[in-house]
Amino acid sequence: MNKRMVLALFIQLHLAAILSLYATKILESTNSGHWEAILIACLLEVLLAWLYLSGLSAFPGKHIGEIIREAAGAWAARAILLPFVAYIFFYLVLQNRYQIVKINIVVLPSTPLWAVLLLNMVLPFYAACKGIHAIARMGLALFITFMPFVLFSLFISYQNFEWRNIFPIWQPKLTFVAEQPFYTSLFAFSGFLFLGMLSLNKPVKLRKLGPSMLLVAAFGFASVYVPLLIFGQETAIRFQYPVTMASDTIDLEWVVFDWLPTFSVVSSSALGMIESSVLLWMAMTLVRKLYLPLPDKWLAAILSIAMYICSMQIHNVQTLNRFFSMNAALCLYSMIILPLTLGLSGWRKRRTTS
Amino acid sequence: MNKSEDRDWERHLLDTFALNTDFAAKRIELSDQLVHVYYFVTLVDLPGTLASMNQSLMSANDGNVPLQHLSDLYQIDSNAMPEELAHLLLQGRLVVRSPHTGEPLIFKALEPSISRSVMPPENESPIQGAIDGFTEDLLTNVGLLRKKINHKDVVVVTHAVGSTFCREIALVYLKGKANPKIVQTVADSLIRNKHKDVRHVEDMLSVLGQPKISLVATYLATELPEEAAQNLMDGRVVLFMDQLPYAISVPAILKDVWTLKTDFNYPFLYLLFFRFIRMIGIIFAVIMPGLYVVLNSVNPELLRIQLAISVAKSREGVPYPAFIEVLLMLLVLEMVIEATTRLPKSIGPTITMIGGIILGQAIVQAKLVSNLLIIILAASTIANFTMSGYLNTIGIRIYKYVVLVASAAFGILGLEMSVIWIFVYFAGLKSFTVPYLSLSLKGTKTDE
């Protein structure tokens, strides 16, 4: 797997998260100075990614499970990584549910949810069985084919921007830090964790990730500010899908298509597909290496079916939101404890070898 | 040594070919010695061979033993087992019993003229390029290729495979350009599967360890020495099978779907234009029928209202759902393609006329399918054949139906997912250690 593929996957994983629930959560967490919340999350990711990567670089060719097992023993590794696996799995469930509801509302109002979910289950299963290298190649291919749609759907509504909606621009008290939605929104920046699963012989350097992180941050800003500039805080906060709604505010003569939110849904579901494939592959690999040594295909099948059943159990948007908030605890654990553990093991290994 | 006593190998040959009237065992005078020869009259031109042998003996200096001199010129270095002798005879060799040791000597012989000469290719039409095509004869083909690529690093290795059905396969690569891993894989599998019979290209692919069912061809077949030479330059391994007028280059990658090697005979801008057209063609061919169903029956709200109405109007009076309509017409179209492919050239145009004009016009007037569909299908079929390489078009022709079914079931989402699915499929496909989804064979550079 080469650098370009890793970077493309890195960007796509973030983008998939950003285009889903991120904007809603940021809009909920504060009513002014949204950029501060986004910026803080970005800086937090840079810091944690630095720790994480510095730990990884001490163990070339190994993935996170092996590293922790080497540093702390097999049972400790299982205990430390259990919340991470749970996080990945529930994230998969919730993202898929979120996706299919959006698809159902925008493009397929008469198709039953279970059928759409079936599609969302089968493709990631197929991709996860092929392995991360295949997923990375596919990611690059989709990056080239679907990125224009992402950009198109995100920025097409620029003519409706009301620049005065940007005010108040300054929020001196950082009140969002005390708000629960802010912590839920952090899941969008947990994408760096997949780097630990790749077992790269030459671990990625933070410097190399820089441009991609800037791009991700730019998309983070765009996904919040596009609906904010069009609708203003008071209206935008009422939407379940602010980014998709934003692309519905314009009418372009030169496009043959009339129903422009379709582009938004098409692009975000393609990204969602990559995200699901990667998440499923991560969960599958971790479970196989640490808990249950079954063949990949079996594990992937079990996990996808479990995902399908769990997703079907969520009956409405309120429950979905509640689960997202609950999953935030697991997310924070994975985002903070894992980089710390890795950073520490890396530091210890460097000290003992030198 | 008793001359009338048959050796083991002689008896074996006589037994094996006893029923053949064109198998000959004769005693002839060769360089003033009586020798036994074995050959097929249909494959060996004996008088011609003897004449040329005598001519070369005349020009030889007198110091040499005559038979030795002939051996130097004509003998193929081979310590053949009796079974192999049979194969060599079938390849048109002359087997001579050595008057001194009684062992078989295998001589090259002139063929009666049953091979065609080098001609322009039948199934590919090069524009602005060399127009000689490969023939059935293996050595001629290798020679044609060598002429096109005057390079000292070209390596030609010939393998004979098959136990009951012997076939010669030549493996050609460019040392230094070809990925050693690919060369090794191909050579290893040829040696490992030496005993397997190779009758068709499919047999050869199984010898090479390729998957039996694959949507896209993992090899490129060409009739043009120029294409094959360029394939060598790109680092591919070229395989020739005796009696197959195609060069088979492995591995194939995604880029081959829209590139032709003879493109390089044009100015760069034209090359870009051709490739762009082909890429658009691929996209059209894959998604058009599916998109028609999406816009007609699942997500008509995607279209602008004026357009949606005109689309709906064109389908007025058509008695079945859009999916069935498309499927029926696609099948008719496939049959037209299949029927015209191998028909004699004098009947082909008639079928085209019946299929295109009469059927197309009548079916619309009878309100069985809409005009728009005819336009879309014609466009997607034409687009299908813009792709480079006949083999590649077939995979896309098949995949179109997957897109169609997915679109009918899930609308625009199904269309998108089927496109993603084909990417996942390509991403997981590897031929000879090279991922199909790469843009170049050199190094590890892997792209779309």
pLDDT reading at B446 higher than 70 = no
Tens of pLDDT, residues A321-350:
889 888 999 999 999 999 998 888 888 888
| Greater model confidence, B154 or B212 | B154
Residues B232 and B333 in one domain: no
B220-222/B167-174 β-pairing? unpaired
* pLDDT at residue B424, as a whole number: 92
Would you say residue B129 lies in a domain? no
Q: Would you call B98 helix, strand, or coil by DSSP?
A: coil
Which of B292, B416, B422, B426 is the best mutation test for A, with the most CBs of A within 10 A?
Answer: B416
Enumerate chain B positions whose Cβ falls within 8 A of a Cβ in A: 298-299, 301-305, 307-308, 409-414, 416-417, 419-421, 423-424, 426-428, 435, 437, 444-448
Would you say residue B257 lies in a domain? no
* Rounded average pLDDT over B383-400: 88
* pLDDT at residue A280, as a whole number: 93
List of chain A residues whose C-beta atoms are within 8 Å of the C-beta of residue B419: 145
A153's CB contacts (< 8 A; 6+ apart) are A243, A247, A260, A261, A263, A264, A267
Residues B50 and B195 in one domain: no
Number of folded domains that form chain B: 3
| Greater model confidence, A77 or B66 | A77
Residues in chain A: 354
Residues B385 and B411 in one domain: yes
Residues B244 and B340 in one domain: no
Question: What per-residue string of b and e applies to B42-59 under the rule 16 or more CB within 10 Å gives b?
Answer: ebbbbeebbeebeeebee
Residues B307 and B205 in one domain: no
Q: How far is A29 from chain B (nearest CA, A)?
A: 32
* pLDDT at residue B181, as a whole number: 85
Would you say residue B260 lies in a domain? no
A237's CB contacts (< 8 A; 6+ apart) are A27, A28, A31
List of chain A residues whose C-beta atoms are within 8 Å of the C-beta of residue B411: 107-108, 111
Would you say residue B218 lies in a domain? yes
Question: What per-residue string of b and e applies to A141-157 under the rule 16 or more CB within 10 Å gives b?
Answer: bbbebbbebbeebbebb
Cβ(B124)–Cβ(B205) below 8 Å: no
pLDDT band at B5 (very low <50, low <70, confident <90, very high): low
Q: Is the peptide bond before B251 cis (omega within 30 degrees of 0)?
A: yes
State both tokens at A228.
Answer: 């904010």
Picking from B230, B252, B274, the residue at the C-terminal end of a domain is B252
Tens of pLDDT, residues A46-86:
999 999 988 888 888 888 888 888 888 888 888 989 999 99
Coarse DSSP helix, strand, coil percentages of chain A, rounded to the nearest 5 percent: 80, 0, 20
Picking from B201, B229, B252, the residue at the C-terminal end of a domain is B252
How far is the CA of B371 from the CAs of B313, B315, B320, B411, in angstroms? 10, 8, 15, 22
pLDDT reading at B269 higher than 90 = yes
Q: Name the residue among A1, A3, A14 with its Cα closest to residue A274.
A: A14
Residues B326 and B360 in one domain: yes
Would you say residue B150 lies in a domain? yes
Tens of pLDDT, residues B183-233:
888 899 888 888 888 888 888 888 888 888 888 888 889 899 988 998 888
Residues B161 and B276 in one domain: no
Backbone angles phi, psi at A80, to 5 degrees: -65, -35
pLDDT reading at A127 higher than 90 = yes
Cβ(A239)–Cβ(A245) below 8 Å: yes
Q: Would you call A219 helix, strand, or coil by DSSP?
A: helix
Residues B89 and B168 in one domain: no
* pLDDT at residue B116, as a whole number: 81
B247-250/B237-241 β-pairing? antiparallel
Residue B300 structural domain: 266-435
CA distance A246 to B305: 21
Q: Name the residue among A106, A150, A93, A135 with its Cα closest to residue A270.
A: A150
Residues B279 and B361 in one domain: yes
Contact B303 A256 (CB under 8 A): yes
CA distance A31 to A224: 12
How far is the CA of B433 from the CAs of B56, B207, B354, B419, B428, in angstroms? 50, 16, 47, 24, 11
Residues B90 and B173 in one domain: no
pLDDT reading at B277 higher than 90 = yes
* Rounded average pLDDT over B135-162: 88
Tens of pLDDT, residues B340-356:
888 887 887 887 787 77
Cβ-in-10-Å burial (0-12, 13-18, 19+) of B233 comes to middle
* pLDDT at residue B78, as a whole number: 60
* pLDDT at residue B1, as a whole number: 38
pLDDT band at B447 (very low <50, low <70, confident <90, very high): very low
Q: What angle do CA A331, A332, A338 make, to 5 degrees?
A: 90
Would you say residue B60 lies in a domain? yes
- On average, the pLDDT of chain B sits at 83
List of chain B residues whose C-beta atoms are within 8 Å of the C-beta of residue A257: 302-304
Mean pLDDT check: name the lowest of A133-142, A264-273, B116-125, B139-148: B116-125
Q: How many CB pairs under 8 A join A and B?
A: 98
State both tokens at B314.
Answer: 């064109």
DSSP string over A99-164: HHHHHHHHT-TTS-HHHHHHHHHHHHHHHHHH-HHHHHHHHHHHHHHHHHHHHHHHHGGGGG--GG
Picking from B228, B252, B276, the residue at the C-terminal end of a domain is B252
Say which of B302, B307, B448 has its CB closest to residue A259.
B302
- Dihedral (CA of A213, A214, A219, A221) sign: positive
Residues B283 and B402 in one domain: yes
Nearest CA in chain B to A264: B413
Residues B430 and B343 in one domain: yes
Which residue type is seen at A179?
E
Cβ(A12)–Cβ(A139) below 8 Å: yes
Say which of A2, A131, A270 has its CB closest to residue B416.
A270
pLDDT reading at B4 higher than 80 = no
Q: Terminus-to-terminus CA distance in chain A, angstroms?
A: 30
Would you say residue B22 lies in a domain? yes
CA distance A343 to A353: 15
> What is the ipTM, given to two decimal places?
0.90
Which domains, from first to last, does chain A contain? 3-348 (1.20.1740.10)
State both tokens at B106.
Answer: 């295998």
pLDDT band at B414 (very low <50, low <70, confident <90, very high): very high
Q: Would you call B178 helix, strand, or coil by DSSP?
A: coil
Contact B411 A111 (CB under 8 A): yes
* Rounded average pLDDT over B82-100: 79
Give the containing element (helix H, strand E) for A91.
helix A74-106
| Greater model confidence, A301 or B83 | A301
B154-161/B167-174 β-pairing? antiparallel
Neighbours of B264 (CB within 10 A): 13
| Greater model confidence, A324 or A253 | A324
pLDDT band at A303 (very low <50, low <70, confident <90, very high): very high
Q: How far is B227 from chain A (nearest CA, A)?
A: 27
Tens of pLDDT, residues A184-236:
888 888 888 888 888 888 878 888 888 899 999 999 999 999 988 888 888 88
Coarse DSSP helix, strand, coil percentages of chain B, rounded to the nearest 5 percent: 50, 15, 35
Tens of pLDDT, residues B135-145:
888 888 999 99
Would you say residue B119 lies in a domain? no
* pLDDT at residue A309, as a whole number: 93
Mean pLDDT check: name the lowest of A308-317, B84-93, B293-302: B84-93
DSSP string over B351-367: HHHIIIIIIHHHHHHTT
Contact B424 A130 (CB under 8 A): yes
Cβ(A268)–Cβ(A6) below 8 Å: no
Enumerate chain A positions whose Cβ falls within 8 A of a Cβ in B: 2, 4-5, 103, 107-108, 111, 115-116, 119, 123, 126-127, 130-131, 133-138, 140-142, 144-145, 256-259, 262, 265-266, 269-270, 273, 277
State both tokens at A178.
Answer: 């005390």
Cβ-in-10-Å burial (0-12, 13-18, 19+) of A237 comes to middle
Say which of A119, A133, A277 has its CB closest to residue B417.
A119
* pLDDT at residue B408, as a whole number: 92
Contact B445 A2 (CB under 8 A): yes
List of chain B residues whose C-beta atoms are within 8 Å of the C-beta of residue A9: none
